[in-house]
């Protein structure tokens, strides 16, 4: 009886996992966009992580997940440029 139950629930589990992956792909995209404007030190890595997890769950929104990951990487590049030009939040000490 246990094998019948698992055989019936397996398709539902896969569908749920894919649906969660779709939601994560959308969240990755939104966080990547928001990270370009503010809190890029937080939103950038979150967008990268959520995009990666959604791809691992075989999302139906693969393009959105990849775009979210690209925007997350862009968030980190923007952060690096801001810090390098001393307009970021991280202070490297007095600059002569």
> Residue 24, by phi and psi: left (phi above 0), alpha (psi -120 to 50) or beta?
alpha
Per-residue pLDDT in tens (0 to 9) along the chain, 96 residues: 445 566 556 565 666 656 777 888 999 999 999 998 888 899 999 999 999 999 998 888 889 999 999 999 999 999 898 888 876 555 555 554
pLDDT of residue 84: 84
Nearest to 35 by CA among 81, 68, 65: 68
Q: What is the pLDDT of residue 7?
A: 59
**Distant-in-sequence, close-in-space partners of 65: CB < 8 Å, separation ≥ 6:** 21, 24, 25, 28, 29, 50, 51, 52, 54, 55, 59
Q: How far apart are CA 13 and CA 34, in angstroms?
A: 31
pLDDT value for 87 = 61
**For residue 1, what are its two tokens?**
């009886």
- Look at residue 8 in the predicted model and tell me its pLDDT: 52
What CA–CA distance (Å, rounded) separates 90 from 78? 13
pLDDT of residue 85: 83
Q: Which residues contact 78 (CB under 8 A, 6 or more apart)?
A: 35, 36, 40
Per-residue confidence (pLDDT) for residue 21, from 0 to 100: 72
């Amino acid at each position: 009886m246990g094998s019948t139950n698992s055989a019936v629930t397996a398709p539902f589990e896969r569908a749920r996992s894919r649906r969660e992956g779709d939601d994560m792909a959308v969240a990755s995209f939104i966080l990547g966009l928001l990270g370009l404007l503010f809190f890029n030190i937080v939103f950038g890595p979150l967008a990268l992580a959520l995009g990666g997890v959604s791809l691992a769950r075989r999302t139906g929104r693969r393009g959105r997940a990849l775009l979210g990951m690209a925007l997350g990487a862009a968030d980190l590049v923007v952060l690096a440029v801001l810090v390098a030009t001393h307009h970021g939040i991280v202070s490297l000490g007095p600059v002569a």
